[in-house]
A and B are shown apart, each in its own frame.
Chain A
Amino acid sequence: MPEIEGSPGTSMHGVTGREPVLAFSVASPMVHMDHNAKFDLPVDSEHKATVFKLFSFANPHMRTFHLSWISFFTTFISTFAAAPLVPIIRDNLNLTKSDIGNAGVASVSGSIFSRLVMGAVCDLLGPRYGCAFLIMLSAPTVFCMSFVSDASGYIVVRFMIGFSLATFVSCQYWMSTMFNSKIIGLVNGTAAGWGNMGGGATQLLMPVLFEIIKKAGATPFTAWRIAFFVPGWFNVIMGILVLTLGQDLPDGNLGALQKKGDVAKDKFGKVLWYAVTNYRTWIFVLLYGYSMGVELTIDNVIAEYFYDRFDLQLHLAGIIAACFGMANLLARPFGGFTSDYMAKRFGMRGRLWNLWLLQTAGGVCCVCLGLVNSLPLAITFMMLFSIGAQAACGATFGIIPFISRRSLGIISGMTGAGGNFGSGLTQLIFFASAPFSTAKGLTYMGLMIIGCTLPVSLVHFPQWGSMFLPPSKDIVKGSEEHYYVSEWTEEEKQKGMHQASLKFAENCRSERGGKVASAPTPPNNTPGHV
């Protein structure tokens, strides 16, 4: 290398004046581009795309994006399909209030386990198989709704359908293998946000299907069962598309690449160990429970809240509930975008502050939502809350890819599971069998959100710092390479298993932020005056 990279004067960023300002593309020399690779989009040295072209379906990057978010969207539709139809289902199955609450808890609890498993599956078998297997095996559980005849059957089926929410993990993992870290916040936020919209779309879709089927001649107690066939078929169709059109990595499928020796096969025990012993994993598990977790809780309770508190008709309450979920269209990508934007100037510290601000603002609005007595104010606070919580979800997954390279899958899985755990917990404490009203429950939940977001200040990266502390001054310990390669033992390094982590480390140097334009002086170049 003729010049020391990053030393003052070498950066060509901004020289032509035509570089894009926003993070839709990556054009800084800190990212090593591979110009020989034959892809539709410009790629880096890992063959991950450095540009996010939303309306393209080009193989593999953008096609993966669309397959991924639509499968996740489908599972959200299936999991929350029962929520808008509860007024009919509760009469058909003779449900009590606690049956309905328990079913809501069950619908999000199943995926606590399945998201953990999916993380490991992605690391070991690849996201394509993980996604396809899950949605095609959960299609029968959706079809099973036609057999349900009492409360216990209802709870069990909702529990089983809930397993399919683990496609979230395969979705995020798949995005991380296809897109460069500089735009990963925006990409992950968009994919997950559009997937989460399914929770809103279903509140509109299912009542419409129900009405159509009723008009076609079915009685209400049969019509809702038939309506469930539609989400079931979405599952099957998406599974087939993922299998036929998708691939795990930019260069091919995991199995084929592992056979060729291009991708090292890793041991589950090791991958798990490095995930579990990293304290940052656990902080994000907690945090995600209070951004995604509360979003899922609201998906389950908000329609009923507006129906009862403000005496709205069912379809109107459903429309308002749908607005909450549909805000994901822009809110979650917005969170990922602000994460990337803050990172450009302030690096990882910017990402952490961004997350804290968004999630705390969401919590404040949730407190207000429970307190107000007028419908327009309630809708306003609900929308502000949805933006805060969903943007915080996007911001969280703007940071997760940097916690670990080796155990990314399991950490994504654990965080996702934390989201569902938070949802089950908040539904249990504040709504299902609570002695206080739903309105008070919302206020208390908002306070808990604010409290449980504070731990983000404890997340510290030696190479990038934290919300309040600067990065380590040590040249070795303060380098990205040291952080990511420390996950491999000497023997593994000798086998060359750490090459992917090395490549990742060099590609994510931009997390130092704009002010730190120069990399630390390499050890054999000490300035004279020291």
Chain B
Amino acid sequence: MAVPAGFLVISLLLSCFAATSYGVYFSSLKETLEVTASPTKGQVLKAGDDKITVTWRFNQTYSAGTDSDYKTIKVKLCYAPISQKDRSWRKTVDLLKKDKTCPHKIVARPYTASNNSFTWTVERDIPSAVYFVRAFAVNAEDQQVAYGQTTDAHKSTNLFEVQAITGRHVSLDITSVCFSAFSIVSLAGFFYMEKRKSKASQ
């Protein structure tokens, strides 16, 4: 019985390892897209209010036919290294399946070589952080085949900031105070009434 059990354990472990190492690596992608975004360097955008205009096109210096398998362009908002520090849930990993650098989708469009642009209002669930924009070219099997980004290879230039909404509201604050007051007052009331009852019964 020990042998089949051991075999089962080992095959489970191997299958887990096998599954995780299959996929596209970012370092294998070519930067064939030119992407620009409207925010200037260091600009602070307000979530829910301000807009970003993204434009992208195929870099013509690459030979024609390089973009033959590009089906869709997915444009994403990505964290700059400073906003990834001490935050392992935003880590950059080469295997794109596990990469958490670019979680926020801006737009997905069918691929055309030029004249692409999109204006996006920064959504209200975007957290306060420093960002850049990256676009992935995706083939028919939904695998990334190329990319372009608004910053350099070290992700240090052309970064902009988003200031998130607080999520707080005055009405919420007032409700909170009222509920708290109810709790304290009813407790005091009960206590006082019980003390009075016991004094009266003496």
- A contact set with B: CB distance below 8 Å: 87, 90-92, 94, 96-98, 129, 132-133, 136-137, 139-140, 143-144, 146-147, 149, 219-222, 224-226, 229, 232-233, 235-236, 239-240, 243-244, 255-256, 259, 308, 311, 373-377
Contact = CB atoms under 8 A, between A and B. Distances in A.
Contacts of B129: 94
A324 to B, nearest CB: 21
B179 interface: yes
B167 A235 contact: no
A129 B192 CA distance: 12
A136 B186 contact: yes
Nearest to B172: A146
Contacts of B180: 139-140, 143-144
B16 A308 contact: no
Interface string B178-199: 0110111011001100100010
Interface in B150-202: 164-169, 172-173, 175-177, 179-180, 182-184, 186-187, 190-191, 194, 198, 202
Q: Per DSSP, are chain B's interface residues mostly helix, strand or loop, or mixed?
A: helix
Nearest to A220: B125
B165 A219 contact: yes
A243 B176 contact: no
Contact of B173 (A94, A147, A256): A147
Contacts of B177: 143
B105 interface: no
A239 B166 CA distance: 32
Contact of B127 (A94, A137, A147): A94
A97 B176 contact: no
Nearest to B125: A220
A143 B16 contact: no
A458 B42 CA distance: 65
B86 interface: yes
Contacts of A90: 87, 89
A91 B12 contact: no
Nearest to B168: A149
Nearest to B9: A377
B140 interface: no
Closest 6 pairs (CB-CB, A-B): A221-B167, A140-B180, A91-B127, A96-B86, A139-B183, A143-B176
B89 A136 contact: no
Contact of A225 (B9, B88, B124, B172): B172
Given A219-B124, A219-B125, A136 B198 contact: no
Contact of B86 (A97, A143, A144, A220): A97
Contacts of B190: 132, 240, 243-244
Interface in B85-114: 85-89, 98
B183 A136 contact: yes
Given A92-B166, A373-B17, 16 more contacts: A87-B89, A92-B127, A92-B164, A96-B85, A129-B191, A137-B183, A139-B183, A146-B175, A149-B166, A219-B165, A222-B167, A222-B169, A226-B172, A229-B175, A236-B183, A373-B13
A221 B13 contact: no
A259 B176 contact: no
Contacts of B143: none
23 contacts: A91-B125, A91-B164, A92-B164, A92-B167, A94-B128, A94-B129, A96-B85, A97-B87, A136-B186, A137-B183, A143-B180, A220-B125, A221-B125, A222-B172, A225-B172, A229-B175, A229-B176, A236-B182, A240-B190, A308-B89, A311-B98, A373-B17, A374-B16
A146 B127 contact: no
B12 A377 contact: yes
B202 A376 contact: no
A129 B9 CA distance: 54
Contact of A373 (B16, B125, B165): B16
Interface string B1-35: 00000000100110011001000000000000000
Contacts of B179: 139-140, 143, 229, 232-233, 236
A146 B174 CA distance: 10
Contacts of A133: 187
A220 B127 CA distance: 11
A140 B125 CA distance: 27
B182 to A, nearest CB: 7
Given A96-B86, A133-B187, A147 B128 contact: no
Contacts of A243: 187, 190, 194
B23 to A, nearest CB: 12
Contact of B168 (A91, A132, A225): A225
A147 B176 contact: yes
Contact of B198 (A140, A144, A235, A259): A259
A232 B177 CA distance: 12
A514 B92 CA distance: 64
A236 B186 contact: yes
A195 to B, nearest CB: 20
A240 B172 contact: no
Contacts of A225: 167-168, 172
A226 B175 CA distance: 10
A229 B186 CA distance: 17
Contact of B166 (A91, A221, A375, A377): A221
Nearest to A149: B166
Contacts of A235: 183
Contacts of B169: 222
B44 to A, nearest CB: 14
Nearest to A223: B167
B13 A144 contact: no
A96 B20 CA distance: 27
Given A149-B168, A225-B172, A259 B13 contact: no
